[in-house]
Amino acid sequence: MTGADEPVGPSATPAGIYDCWLGGNAGTQADRDAARRIMAAVPEIRQIAWANRGFLMRSVTWMAERGIRQFIDVGAGFPAQRATHEVARAVRADCRVVYTDNDPAVVERGRQLLAGDTGAAVIQADIRQSAALFSHPDTARLIDPAEPTGLLVIAVTQFVSDEDDPWSLVAAHMAPLAPGSYLALSAPTADHKSERQVSSVVAEYACTVATVNRPRARRDFERFFTGLDLVAPYPGAAPGITYVGLWGCDDPRDADDDASRWFYAAVAAKRG
């Protein structure tokens, strides 16, 4: 099995591995090695990463077009091509963004790139630390609690075990947000996927600092949106869950492919 013969060093990180697939240069050698081994097991992994990134960009655009001016990007990772604040500001120049990540290297690089940008900030916080996020001075400065917010939880919950209850963690991030806020969430799934490929990826991440990479079935993914109102993923579709490549697409026939089907995605509104 890929990964068993050549274990990943403990310095490999999810953010660094993901950055490698998106063509970035922020990762370490350990990250690049891990990314290469996962690519050997799942050759379409670059397309999967870009499909997921595409969902983030389309969902941010969709929310900004509907009046959302402030965003929280949880577990954002290394800044990629067209970061969240750039995507949002292409629609509304006054958009504000708070990024979070638990990786000190990600936070440091983000702060360097955002130096001088008064409308965006990077906070070091784990998804398990919603209180640290909402009590931070930068959050108080950039996020108006009376105004709807776009909460992004993109490819993060797989790094939280069932025992740590990722559903309640997402709910804890939504709880302080004003009615009319949106949650955009994507997460990997093993539904209808090769057991060998899934096991290879899980084994690689078990040797990284994350230790956990938990793909989830559709019924478990749906639980993240309990109490929220799902929106239609593309024109003509009923409100609900779909795959990352399909959400926000122009033509579902062209957008539906095997790479896209590795991740579920949905956007939902907070009632009120």
Q: What is the pLDDT of residues 110-158, one digit of tens each?
A: 999 999 999 999 999 999 999 999 999 999 999 999 999 999 999 999 9
Q: Parse the chain into domains and list their residue ranges.
A: 14-270
End-to-end Cα, the chain, rounded Å = 50
How many Cα atoms are found within 13 Å in the side-chain-facing hemisphere of 253? 0
56-95 pLDDT per residue, tens: 999 999 999 999 999 999 999 987 678 999 999 999 999 9
Cβ–Cβ < 8 Å for 177, 266:
no
Indicate the Cα dihedral angle 110, 108, 224, 17, nearest 10°.
90
> Domain 14-270 carries which CATH code?
3.40.50.150
Per-state percent for the chain, helix, strand, coil, to nearest 5 = 40, 15, 45
Structure confidence by residue, pLDDT tens digits, 24-64: 988 899 999 999 999 999 999 999 999 999 999 999 999 99
Q: Which residue in 106, 104, 72 sits closest to 184, CA to CA?
A: 72
pTM: 0.93
* Residue 10 in this model has a pLDDT that exceeds 60: no
Distance of alpha carbon 166 from alpha carbon 174, whole angstroms: 13
Cβ neighbors of 113 (< 8 A, separation 6 or more) are 79
Q: d(Cα 41, Cα 21) in Å, to the nearest integer?
A: 14
Query: Once rounded to an integer, what is the mean pLDDT over residues 245-270?
Result: 92
Average model confidence (pLDDT) across the chain: 92
Backbone angles phi, psi at 151, to 5 degrees: -100, 125
The candidate with the shortest Cα–Cα distance to 188, out of 125, 249, 259, is 259
- The pLDDT of residue 244 is above 70: yes
pLDDT > 50? residue 6: no
Contact 207, 7 (CB under 8 A): yes
Tokens standing for 252? 């579902």
CB 98 within 8 A of CB 177: no
CA dihedral sign, ordered 37, 39, 45, 49 = positive
Q: What's the DSSP call for residue 23?
A: T
